[in-house]
Structure 1
């Protein structure tokens, strides 16, 4: 497994607010600059499948591999010879703020090639995307602390 990017943020929005934004996949392009559109084939549940169209790239099928409301959302895209995984972890800290951490990994025999093709762009955009997501999840534009 190759970790290609990691990002984290502490925000005022609740874990449920983050999950509401993730579940509303049609709005992902509002906070994820690399995404042109996303379509989920059914409800936002573990095992659900869909299609994502990255900007400048081909459509990619994905699966909601793990969904633990209020704690974890992991989606896996199947690439030729590799799997691209986005793992999102959410937790409340002792002060009532929400911590969100994202890790992006690649596995499979062609993971090194996909890392060359995608890794730099994902790494460059992940923190900004997470900050925009936190803003979208916050009520009334509550402050976000990075």
Structure 2
């Protein structure tokens, strides 16, 4: 198993941040990691989606768990294994939110995945957190 985890604290309203991260069809508009993304149906456990990171192949994934306003997880198949993503958001008070993202890779492709995608995913996590903060602020200002 190979695991990549990053966390940061951003400024924002948890409800607004949650609305941004669950708006899959618009990930590509704000997330520098995503070239394209879509979801089939509501953002709920059992829903399937597809996303294509910049510089990597697209993949179909399934949402495996959702705790409304707090966390969500997904899984996609890899040859002989799987990739599991976990995303957690915790209100800290004073308009601050702790964001944690973890990617777990299982199976025989772990060494290749680590070599070709590990560094890029780790770098993109911090870029995505910064972009999430900006997009949540933009949406909050638009709603005001």
* TM-score (norm: length of structure 1): 0.84
**What's 1:144 paired with?**
none
Aligned-residue offset at 1:57: 2.9
**What's 2:130 paired with?**
131
CA distance in 2, matches of 1:37, 1:19: 19
1:5-29 CA-partner distances (Å, limit 9, x unpaired): x222222322222221122112111
**Secondary structure of 1:98's aligned partner:** strand
1:89 is the counterpart of 2:88: yes
Correspondences of 1:1-20 after superposition (within 5 Å) = 1-4=1-4, 6-20=5-19
CA distance in 1, matches of 2:133, 2:95: 15
CA distance in 1, matches of 2:74, 2:91: 22
Residue correspondences, number? 140
Q: Any conservation in 1 of the 2:64–2:74 contact (CA below 8 Å)?
A: yes
Q: Any conservation in 2 of the 1:9–1:131 contact (CA below 8 Å)?
A: no
1:10-65 CA-partner distances (Å, limit 9, x unpaired): 22322222221122112111232231111111111111101112223322111111
CA RMSD of aligned residues (A): 1.9
**What's 2:72 paired with?**
73
Greater alpha carbon shift after TM alignment, 32-41 vs 50-59: 50-59
1:114 is the counterpart of 2:113: yes
* TM-score (norm: length of structure 2): 0.85
Aligned-residue offset at 1:122: 0.5
**What's 2:141 paired with?**
140
Any stretches of 5+ residues in structure 1 without a counterpart? 142-146
Any stretches of 5+ residues in structure 2 without a counterpart? none
Greater alpha carbon shift after TM alignment, 40-49 vs 100-109: 100-109
